Structures are given as structure tokens and as C-alpha cells.
């Protein structure tokens, strides 16, 4: 998994991948760090089905602002370039898998 979404890649990632999950986080955020192993595991395991990228809100505040990120961690799910769902706060692996599976089946 690529560690960080570069600002210049942001639009390309969303527009050129059918299924995208952005994880908005910060290094100092405890819940973000708790979620990190699950994000890495699913990014590796589901790499052929969904593109998962992390966005550090301290390094890229303009991206966070564009999506109205007020709390972290925040996960935003994109289908064919459109934001379709968001989850704020911690989420367990099972529930995150369910959200990803529902995203893949949207038309």
C-alpha cells in the first residue's frame, strides 16, 4: 500500500479507479492509529477490488477541507468518481468489509 496520497494524485486516483476508499487521518490521532492495521490489511488483501489511500489532514488540509472533514478518522468511499458513503470514527474490520462490499455492488 502506498503510504500517502500525494495532492497531485488525488484527482487521478478518484477518477481512474472504480472503487476508492480514502482514509483521512493524522499521526497524532489515537483512533486513527488503532484503525491503521485494518486499513493496511484490507488495502493489501483487496488491492484488485478497491484502491485504498491515506490522506494526512495535517499535510493536506485543502483536501480535507474539500470534503468537509471535521473529525478523524473519516473514511470516504467513492464509486466511479462520486463520493457515495462516509464513516466517521473507528470501525471494525468486519463492518469495514461490509461497507467495501456494498460499494463494489453499487451501479
What is the predicted pLDDT for the residue at 106?
A: 62
What is the predicted pLDDT for the residue at 8?
A: 60
What is the predicted pLDDT for the residue at 93?
A: 95
Annotated catalytic residue: which of 14, 32, 69, 76? 32
> Shortest CA distance to 20 belongs to which of 5, 34, 31, 7?
5
Angle in degrees, 0-180, between the axes of helices 93-104 and 30-45, rounded to the nearest 10: 50
Task: Give a yes or no: residue 2 inside a domain.
Answer: no
Instruction: State yes or no: is 10 an active-site residue.
Output: no
Instruction: State yes or no: is 69 an active-site residue.
Output: no
Residue 14's alpha-carbon distances to 29, 72, 79, 89, in angstroms, are 25, 20, 8, 22
The CATH number assigned to the domain holding 22 equals 3.40.30.10
Task: Give a yes or no: residue 56 inside a domain.
Answer: yes
What is the predicted pLDDT for the residue at 104?
A: 73
Please tell me the total count of domains within the chain: 1
Annotated catalytic residue: which of 29, 35, 43, 57? 29
| Adjacent-strand bridge partners of 87 | 75
Q: Which residue range is the domain that position 80 belongs to? A: 7-104
What is the predicted pLDDT for the residue at 3?
A: 47
pTM over 0.85: yes
Task: Give a yes or no: residue 1 inside a domain.
Answer: no
Q: Which residues of the chain have pLDDT under 70?
A: 1-8, 106-107
What is the predicted pLDDT for the residue at 6?
A: 58
Amino acid at each position: 500500500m502506498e503510504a500517502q496520497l500525494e495532492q497531485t494524485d488525488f484527482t487521478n486516483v478518484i477518477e481512474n479507479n472504480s472503487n476508492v476508499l480514502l482514509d483521512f487521518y493524522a499521526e497524532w490521532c489515537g483512533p486513527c492509529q488503532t484503525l491503521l492495521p485494518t486499513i493496511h490489511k484490507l488495502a493489501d488483501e483487496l488491492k484488485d477490488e478497491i484502491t485504498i489511500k491515506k490522506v494526512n489532514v495535517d499535510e493536506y488540509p485543502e483536501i480535507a477541507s474539500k470534503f468537509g472533514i471535521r473529525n478523524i478518522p473519516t473514511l470516504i468511499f467513492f464509486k466511479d468518481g462520486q463520493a457515495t458513503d462516509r464513516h466517521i470514527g473507528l470501525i471494525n474490520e468486519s463492518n469495514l468489509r461490509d461497507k467495501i462490499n456494498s460499494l463494489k455492488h453499487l451501479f
